[in-house]
Chain A
């Protein structure tokens, strides 16, 4: 979706402001949000792509004015309601007033903690040979899906070169809307700065994205 989360190349957000000796969390509730998001995902309530999609679908003004973990919280609450694990009545009461829905992997307890700290595997057996090889020139498609995609707007329509092949991976565009993993070849595609930003672009800059095969056309 063409949301405000797709920020690459936007102007007007000001300077980057690193915080010296930044703490891991700025409030206690941030820790709880992180832990709940990880726990409910590990329990099988949603996959990582769905959770990203729910944050992206927050209203643009809310997205831009909320802190990182507030976005995580708002996305989590909406997603759990949409998936039937939570009801608006529960939220209004501040307690569980409706029955629970069974989780695919059961209750998240202490035995599951170690699992959360290991990054998931996303590579899958390839359903077909790769369409592109290293060095091929490719054009990022000019597509504007209304649902989740990992093809940022700033590369759409532009020509780059395939630099790496990462194998076949879960396709976020499908997984986010629960249409299965639909594995696709994943490539690092590199673009010249001036190809992306025009004659005013920095000629010493190159930018790469990791692009799933359905995002690319041969040139």
Chain B
């Protein structure tokens, strides 16, 4: 049976999609394919175990530990695997470094491929037509939608995630953070800075 305890609606009319989704879960449960409690557990895992805090810890460590940064750029999955405290990641994670000469940006033009272990589930804009269509043709225009402006001569490299490889951007460490701890630095790392549509927070700016 579907999970009525989850459904506290403040409106009486359920959407067509919602009704159909509930019916499908009922059928899959009645057929013995899925256990609703296992579906609950999947959702809970997505809500608690993954998220940009994982990516932020990786970035902050790369900013403070040159040997780790080198290993991370050589083999992202392997390097992250050495950090016991970070969520497990797939075998095909590629970390790409922003430099004063080059800015990296990640898209999936065909669907929604995204390093969810590092960043959580992708935001709606990442999965929607405006970003998917324009990121490869007009990346500067897309960045303007995020109020991001880059120097005119800076190279922009767009990574279209067309296979099971996943890409994580290593943003540049903000100025004025000399001597900061990994924990302090991780607070500056935003989700969008690891997609390439934003920058890390600067010290003292509101979070």
Q: Which residues of A contact B (CB under 8 A)?
A: 5-11, 13-19, 22, 24, 26-29, 31-36, 38-40, 43, 45, 48, 52, 55, 64, 68, 70, 73, 76-77, 85-86, 90-91, 94-96, 100, 103, 107-110, 112-113, 116-123, 150-152, 154, 164, 166, 169-170, 172, 186, 188, 190, 196-197, 201-202, 204-212
Contact residues of B between 13 and 29, Cβ < 8 Å to A: 15, 17-18, 20-28
The answer, yes or no, to whether B92 is at the interface (CB within 8 Å) is: yes
Q: Are B34 and A29 in contact (CB under 8 A)?
A: no
Known: A73-B17, A107-B33, A117-B50. 15 other contacts (CB 8 A): A7-B132, A8-B137, A9-B136, A10-B129, A11-B134, A13-B129, A29-B21, A43-B34, A85-B33, A120-B164, A123-B92, A154-B109, A190-B157, A202-B138, A202-B156
B residues at A contact (CB < 8 Å)? 3, 6-7, 15, 17-18, 20-28, 30-35, 37-43, 45-47, 49-50, 88-92, 94, 107, 109-112, 117, 120-121, 123-125, 127-140, 142, 145-146, 152-165, 192
Assess whether B35 is in contact with A164, with CB atoms less than 8 Å apart: no
Take A13-B129, A68-B127 as given contacts and tell me if A152 and B109 are in contact as well, using a CB distance cutoff of 8 Å: yes
Q: Are the CB atoms of A7 and B129 closer together than 8 Å?
A: yes
Decide: A108 near B162, CB < 8 A? Known: A13-B130, A33-B21, A68-B112: no
Report B-chain residues with C-beta under 8 Å of the C-beta of A201: 137
Which of B50, B120, B160 counts the most A-chain CB atoms under 10 A from its CB? B160
A/B interface sample: 28 pairs, CB < 8 A: A7-B110, A8-B109, A11-B137, A16-B128, A17-B130, A24-B120, A29-B22, A32-B25, A32-B43, A39-B38, A39-B42, A43-B33, A64-B129, A85-B33, A91-B23, A94-B23, A110-B35, A116-B42, A152-B162, A154-B136, A172-B163, A202-B140, A204-B155, A205-B139, A205-B155, A206-B157, A207-B136, A212-B163
